[in-house]
Each structure stands twice: as C-alpha cells, then as structure tokens.
Amino acid sequence: MKTIQLSDVHLSFGRRTVLKNIQMTLTSRTKAALTGGNGTGKSTLMKIINRTVSPDSGTLSIQKTTRISYLPQSGRSYSGRRLKDEAETAFHDLHEAAGLKREIEAALGRVTASSREVDRLLEEQHELEERLLDADYYQRDREIEKVLTGLGFSRDDLEKKCEHFSGGWQMRIALAKVLLEHPDILLLDEPTNYLDIEARTWLENFLREYRGGFLIVSHDRYFLDTTVSETYELFMSSLTRYSGNYSEYLRLREAEMEELTRRYERQQEEIDRVNSFIQKFRYNASKAKQVQSRIKYLQRMEILEIPSTMQNIHFSFPPAPHSGKRVLTLEHISKAYGDNSVLHDVSLELGRGEKLVVTGVNGAGKSTLLRILSGNDDDYSGLLKMGTGVDIGYFSQEQTELEQNSSSIIELLGNEAPTELVPKLRGLLGAFLFQGDDIYKALNVLSGGERSRIALLRILLQPHNLLILDEPTNHLDIHSKDVLLKALRTFDGTLIFVSHDRYFIENLATRVLHIEEKSARDFPGDYMYYLYRMEQESNTGSTPSEETNQSRRESSSSPTPPAAVQEEKDFTDSKKEKTDSDLPGQQQYAQSKQMKNRLRRLESEEHDLIEKLEKNEEEHQGLQQEMARPENYSVGKRIKELQEKMRLNEAEHEALSAQWEKLSAEKDILLQEVSN
C-alpha cells in the first residue's frame, strides 16, 4: 500500500497563515474529499502534496515508487496532436516500463550467469508485467476510447486536433489524461467544473471502481456523497478529518457549529461586559489597576470566529407577482442554425408554481430553449404563448452588462434591492462569495465568475414570477448552492432551470423536460422519477411516455375558449388528466424507490458490519499473539484476563456473523425484486 504523509506542515503568505500544523495521511486506499470555505487553502494543500509548492516548515513523506497525478482547477491546454494521440501521452511512464521489460526478456535469453541473477531478472520482469496489466497497458486503445467517450467526447472527436477544443473541453482532456495515468493517488481539484450530468455520472462510476486512492475538491455534494468515505475540512488554517461521506460530515459539522456558535455568543457577551467596564472606569484613578487588568485579559483572549461560509444565511424572495394558472404554452417549437437542427417539435404547457428542469446531453439545445422562453431569441418556428401577468427574470452565463459599469457591488445592489432586503445585503454577498472589502470592488474589474454571481443575485432580489435560470450554480460553492436552493424551494413563483448539479436538481425539480435529438419528452414527476422511467425504458427498450407526449401535444394544439376563466379551468382539467394517467407508473416508481432506499440502508449497514468484523478479527489476532508471549502465559492472572477477552471477542464475532448472514439474506431478496 502506497502512502503519503504530511506532518506539522505550516505555510503563510505574508502575515496570513494559510496552513497550520497540518497532519494528513493518504494511501492508495484513500477515498477522501477536501472541503473548506472559499480561499481557505484547499488548492494550496493539494499543490504541496503534488510537490509544486513547498511549505514553510513541516515534512512531506512520500513512499518510494508512489505515483501521484494532479488535476488543477484550470489552466491546462493542448495543441499540436490529435486528441487520441494526446491521451496516449498519459502512458509515457508505462511505455518506458514496457521497454525495460523487453530489455529484461532479451537479457534472459542471453543469460549464462547463476540462478540468483536469473531469479532477479524474473522478479523484475514480473513486477513490470504486473504494473502494465494493472494499468490496462495492453488494452490502452480501448481504455483511451472508454475514458474520452465517458467524459463526453464523440468517437469522431478522437481524430480532431486538440487546439480545436474550447477551454472547458481542454480541461476534460486534462482530466482524461490523469485518469489514464492510473496513479496510486489522484489529486482532483474541481474535476466536475466542466462536466455535464452524463459525464459526472460516468466519473462517479469510474472513481467507485478505481483501484487507487484519491483526494477530491468539489462543490458537487451528490458527486462527493457517491465517491468518498472520509472528509478533510480546512477550517481556520487547521485540518480535521471526519469519517463517512460528505453528508455525514455535514451532520457532524452542524453539531460542532452549534456548539461553536454558543461559545462565540458567550464570548461576545463577555467581551461586551469587559469593554463596558473599561469604558465606564477608564478615567477613574481608583479603578486604573482593574481597568489595565481587564485590557490585558482581552489581549490574551483567543478570539473565536465564525467564518461567513459557516454562518446560516436565510434568504427569501420578494413575493412573486400574481400570474395566471397557465404560465406558458409551447407548440411545436423548432430551431436550426443552417442545416444544424438544435430543437425539434418541442411542445409544453407549464403551470403556476411548477419547477421544471430541462435536461439533455451537451449540445441538445437546453440553453437555446431557455433563450427562446426568455424572449432573447425570436428566430424559431412554432408558437410561444405567455400566460396572464407573467414577469420573467432570466439568468445566463453570458453576462456582459456589468463590464462597463464603474459602480461598486454594494452600490449597485443597494440601489436595486427592495427596502426590506437592504439590511441583509452584506450577508447575501458573503453567501455568494463576496467577503470583507470585496463588496466595494468596482463592477468593471470583476472576473467572469464574479460578474455571473452578481447577475444572479440581482435577479433573485427582484420580484419576478417566472425565473429562467441557465446553470445558476456554476460559480458557487456548496454553501452558496445551499442558500440558493433553500430560497428557490420556497419561491412561490414558477421556475425553469438547467443545471449539471444532481443534488441541486433532485432537491428542487418537480417536473423534467428531457431534450433529445428529435423530440422533447415531458416527465410529470421529480428527477428521481425521471431517472426511474429512463432506467425502465433502457431495460425494456420501449418509450412508454411517447404516447402521453403525443396526447399532450394534441391537446395543447387544439383551440381553447378565449375567456381567461375557462382557459384556466381547461388547463387545470388537462393537467389533472395527465397526472391521473400517470398514476400506475408513479405507484410502481414509489414502490421501486422504497425498495432501493431500503437496499441502500442495508448496504450501509453491511459496510459497517464488515468493518466491525475486520476490527474484531484484528483484535482476535492481537489476543492470540499476547497469549503466546511467555511473559503472559506464565502469569496466571494475566492469562485469565486474556482468556476472558478472547471469550468476549469470539462471542462478539458470532453475533456479528449472525447479523451479517441475516442482512445478506434480506439484501439478496431485495436485489432480486429490484432486478425484476
């Protein structure tokens, strides 16, 4: 097992301490997340582990022959080679190993030396062969294609020159290369930043099966939950380890934060009390000694802090203006750029209060559809009809409006925010990663990501009843996403959004519109229901929702009475009919979801039981070794103590084994039912 160990690592930038007394052990079995607030030093710590940054003090110990691969957040670009040839460079070290193996094989054919020399050469040859087999070296063409297509490249892309790919796709090339290197330990800094849901899902599966260890920085909670088994948190320059996935870390951290908040509040009360005494008696000669004593007391006090990234920010939208029950209607919308058809025959009716996520692979036309719905693209065929009183707030990644504005962030938002939200602006800006003096930055000097966050916040502060959001979480950390998610869940208007963050979608969407090459399909349920239906269809090879979509399109294209009341009644009735027609599927989905939830709980319990059994067996071996020592078995009292511990150990093993057998039997039954 390969190991990396950090001991007492310390790093400062000027007067600011970034890392303090860091202790960390990574192995080829580590499956860990590295988390912490924005700017706490996560990327810096990864660079220290990768030996691209040196600490001020402390030691970094890397076991000999340990191979490390590092993916930075950005900055990688490639040119001059075809995509598949660039990916082939990931096998550079293995090419050398294969060459050395051939030299050894040639030497074996010539050797006339002693058997000891032959044994040495055979052992080296075996080690090299094992390394090549472990990295799939002999199937590298197949492995290259599997990784690249898994990350979203088409087979045609393999022959393209790398310089033809944009920045986001360049980082996908970089990710593909570090995965193909098959290192003992992977360091991945925001690997999902440029991936859509399909590519993220592929990467999740890759990491779950990965034979080496990895440390990941990511703002995607679902991705972390499905890949890691421990979490390291950088907090106030120190590193703390938590066992369990990211959600388990959050539960433990929340309890700690509650205690820290109580201590912080008590300390603030104490500071106020002492300061009050100092101010009251500062000029009283008879109290001078006591005043000085209290000043020194404050100077010695270790001040507790609660960073803005850990504070609870509560944000609620201004009340949405009233709109009709039918918010919008799409009839046979199509869009093409020359001969390239982007959208084909999209029909949809959306009701007030619904939260619709638009899904589909990259290039399917999701952003194009949102531009049409927002009124920013009128070059299409078909009919788009907005309901009564609809007021749209539209957010996209292409924000250029602020580039020429020299006002500060706080000035702009202070002028635009409703009066009741002005006192909360500093907290909201902190939640959207603008802390301290950042709020006084001029808008025309902001980076693209900063402008994007300000543009999103501006829309959220205004009273709209239809929000259309294209990738609103792209430049947010997990804490910011949580603030946005909670606000959108309580939003009393209608929402249409695109996102690649599965946790965000699962906890927000009440309906799914899936864009495909030749159609758009409407799933009247949450995201888990959509996944369930897609899985059922892939298993049976059928598309049961097509008939429902056709009837929906026919009903949406039929004429309706002009009266608004009758229109709303018809819409409500048609919506009820669609819901009723889908009840059998919903019930089947609910039963399947219940079984899968139970199966996940059983798998978690099984994992805990296996860990307990392994610990029990280690204790058993330790007791056997203790009992075998002469200094123990020759002392009657000591050997009796060890025998009693052995009896308890064996009883525990029997009980754990019985639990495991019972759990495994139930799990097998559930697996059979789910597969059926």
State both tokens at 552. Answer: 């929906």
Q: Are residues 384 and 500 in the same domain?
A: yes
Same domain, yes or no: 302 and 359: no
Q: Does residue 188 contact residue 217 with C-beta atoms inside 8 Å?
A: yes
Q: Does some domain include residue 441?
A: no
Task: Say yes or no: 349 and 487 in one domain.
Answer: yes
3-class DSSP state of 335:
strand
- Say which amino acid occupies 61: S
DSSP codes of every residue in 602-634: HHHHHHHHHHHHHHHHHHHHHHHHHHHSHHHHT
Together in a domain, 496 and 469 = yes
Contact 489, 508 (CB under 8 A): yes
Is residue 638 domain-resident?
Answer: yes
For residues 509 and 563, membership in a common domain is answered with yes
Q: Taking CA 381 as the corner, what is the angle to CA 375 and CA 387, rounded to the nearest 5 degrees? A: 45
Q: Is residue 423 part of a domain?
A: no
Beta bridge partners of 188: 71, 216
Residue 410 CB coordination number (10 Å): 16
Confidence of residue 114 (pLDDT cuts 50, 70, 90): low
Q: What is the pLDDT of residue 668?
A: 75
Question: Considering the domain boundaries, does residue 631 fall inside one?
Answer: yes
State the Rg of the chain over Cα.
31
Residues pairing with 385 in the sheet: 329
pLDDT at 586 over 70: no
Domain-located, residue 653:
yes
How far is Cα 478 from Cα 473, in angstroms, rounded to an integer? 9
Residues 528, 470 within the same domain: yes
How far apart are the C-alpha atoms of 433 and 450, rounded to whole Å?
Answer: 9
Looking at the fold, whether 593 and 577 belong to one and the same domain comes out as no
Same domain assignment for residues 511 and 641: no
Kindly report, residue by residue over 533-583, the tens digit of the pLDDT.
Answer: 888 877 766 554 443 443 343 333 333 344 445 555 555 555 555 555 555
Cα 364 versus chain centre, distance: 23
Q: What is the pLDDT of residue 588?
A: 67
Regarding whether 663 and 519 lie in a shared domain, the answer is no
Q: Which domain holds residue 298?
A: 250-310
User: Does residue 429 belong to any structural domain of this protein?
Assistant: no
Of 524, 550, 581, the residue at which a domain comes to its end is 581
Residues 283 and 357 in one domain: no
Q: Tens digit of pLDDT for each residue in 48-93?
A: 999 999 999 999 999 988 999 999 988 889 999 999 999 999 988 8
Residues 537 and 514 in one domain: yes
pLDDT by residue (tens digit) across 7-54? 999 999 888 899 999 999 999 999 999 998 777 889 999 999 999 999
Residue-wise pLDDT for 293-323, tens only, equals: 888 888 888 777 765 555 555 667 778 888 8
One domain, residues 473 and 552? yes
Q: How far apart are CA 334 and CA 347, in angstroms?
A: 10
Total domain count for the chain? 3
pLDDT for the residue numbered 349: 92
Cα–Cα dist 367/337, whole Å: 14
Sign for the pseudo-dihedral over CA of 156, 160, 165, 170: positive
Helices in 111-217 by DSSP H: which ranges? 115-134, 140-150, 167-180, 197-209
Of 556, 581, 606, the position where a domain reaches its end is 581
d(CA 55, CA 21): 11
> Over the stretch 464-512, which tens digit does the pLDDT of each residue have?
999 999 999 888 888 888 888 988 998 889 999 999 999 999 999 999 9
pTM beyond 0.85, yes or no: no
Quick check: helix, strand or coil at residue 469?
A: strand
Going from the C-alpha of 510 to that of each of 27, 319, 489, 523, 652, the distances in angstroms are 42, 20, 10, 9, 47
pLDDT at 400 over 80: no
Interval 174-207: pLDDT, tens: 999 999 999 999 999 999 988 988 899 999 999 9
Residue 105 reports pLDDT greater than 60: yes
Helix 409-416 and helix 448-461: axis angle, to 10°? 20
63 found inside a domain: no
The domain spanning residue 363 has which CATH number? 3.40.50.300
Picking from 531, 564, 581, the residue at the C-terminal end of a domain is 581
**Lowest-confidence region among 4-8, 194-198, 260-264:** 260-264
Q: How far apart are the C-alpha atoms of 575 and 348, rounded to whole Å?
A: 11
The C-alpha torsion from 299 through 302 and 303 to 306, rounded to 10°, is: 170
Is residue 654 included in any domain, yes or no?
yes
Q: How far apart are CA 465 and CA 507, in angstroms?
A: 20
